Structure 1
Amino acid sequence: MPAATSLKRVPAKKSRASAQTTPSKTPARIPAWVRCSELEVANHDVDQQCRDYRDADNETLRAATKLWLKRELAFITNTRFSDPGMGAEVFAGTLGLSPRKTELGMATLRKSGIDLPIHLSRLCEAPLLKPEQEVMLFQRMNFLMHQASVHRSLLNPERPSRVRLELIERLVALAEWHRDRIVEANLRLVFSIVKKFVNPNNTFDDLLSDGIIGLMRAVEKFDFGRGFRFSTYATQVVRRNSYRTVVENQEDRQKVLGGLQDMEIEISDEKRSSAISEKRWHELRARMAVMLNDLDRREKLIIRARFSLGSHRKVHTLQSLADRLGISKERVRQLERRAMEKLRQMAGDIELPDLPVDAA
């Protein structure tokens, strides 16, 4: 066979060298399907996001290469994504997204039953996706991320490739463009879910922000190949995310109020109730923050950690704080006692109990 004859003529040393050739030496090429007509709109939209490396020096290219090697590229893989010609096949069909409609956004605001700013209607102007459009968007998004991951694996910081860096950035930007089309088509679903969790202590804006973040994570983790509609999966994710937000907010409020009580700050039963108004709550929290900021660095850390305030999600022991600060357990106890005395003194100088009473 010709192939076998050719292999016999290759010296053993050269054969080993050929086998050891690193993938990063493979020249980068822009696949033809990246510039296909089906991606014309998407390419136009992401052109401003994609960096031009034509005038970049080697140091800049090396730095960009290292950043891409550290970045996580999340996607749902598929065994066919590595098939030759898969790119042309994925983008062979016509997506045919419907244009945005202002009336859809206005209708969403009216149905919400909440007095919302008119600008939020723009978030809900994208029509719902047809089942086949949904599948195409998820397939294309994950295929683009898969291709970006493949080319990223070929990066070499010692021999940076301008063409490969530009290709990776465009592939990721195109994948995010398809992700955004899925997100905007499902924002009305988020509106319908989070409005059920709105109460005096949890505003619609905060819940909506968390809901959108949850929706974006759901898009990244959804496996379109299982045959389910995305809305079924997204509903559970957003609902669970909203519930967790409400619970965490309630726990934070209880921690702050408990901390005020431990500092011997008098708060009436009415003000401790779950129905405490946002005005009173922010007043208490703001004054609490002012007092904590008057402590020194170690005292502030100890009080926050001991009462599980701010970013601390659990109560820290004296020993754990001693290990962290590099001091003895007894010294931590002394600092805590000193900080509490300071806070009690400051509480006596700040008129916390006399908060305004809300109108019925």
Structure 2
Amino acid sequence: MATTLIDNNTDAARHEGGVTADPIRAYLNGIGKHRLITAAEEVNLAKAIEAGLFAEVRLTDPTRPVHDERLRRDLEIVGREGRRAKDQLLKANLRLVVSIAKRYTGRGVSLLDLIQEGNLGLIRAVEKFDYTKGFKFSTYATWWIRQAITRAMADQARTIRIPAHTVEQINKMTRVRRELMVSLGREPRHDEIAAELGVEPFRVLELMSYDTEPVSLDQPVGDDRNTPLSDILRCPEDEQPGETTSYVMLRREVNDVLTSLSAREQGVLRLRFGIDDGRQRTLEEVGKAFGLSRERVRQIEKLTLHKLRHLAEADRLAEYAC
């Protein structure tokens, strides 16, 4: 019944929005008819929902069949009241879903679809809400709504699927970066973002590299916009199977050797030589990532390479040298 209620709202919005009407406005007009409720009403509704769930479980328990007709009728009444209470609590919080969904627009999923996913999270929140904890329902429901929306974005918005927990980290990084830009009055450095997140600077760079979309080879480029990107990309020579296998093995050996270094030493080398993504960074770029001067980065790089040359583990890389 709850899902039908929400589906009807969004479907009606899409239908009304066919040619001339704004589907979002139609949806907002629909849910705006449901009045907001007080904290005391939330508790009363939650109690009715809890009682209704108990009644339904009792009625459907095959190990304890209800033979008494009067008891059965009473349980059915409590069950119906619980379902009505659930619908009322849902209706009263549909606007909360909209306010949260609006924060995630412009990321590849339409606002109506974000609302639909958020509504599913709202349903879950209603089912899990524990009124005895003393929290307002909206505070509790916000987490479930956000969770549903971000998971849907992870599945739908990207050409290459990224795990939901990584999408959540990307969203958190984006929010922290925006907050730092406001407080600092400038673009924050990678190390400043990393400090706020409690991670290493190269993890911030890694998350930033994930927060991109693939580019089509058919995308037009150039001044005339008539040349497909594939026409100007150099096609590498075909690799031999043995060469590919050696490259994979070399990457594995390099990563093993790097584990003997400190986190900062690893980060500097990974960025300077493009070990993770193939793009070599300048001394200045690495300095910005770690909050260091160009000269200090150069010193760390030199000392770290010297250390590697004297590590026993590094001898394993000699066989890959040309």
- TM-score, normalised via structure 1 length: 0.36
Q: Which of the pair has the greater relative contact order for Cα pairs under 8 Å at 6+ separation?
A: 1
- TM-score, normalised via structure 2 length: 0.40
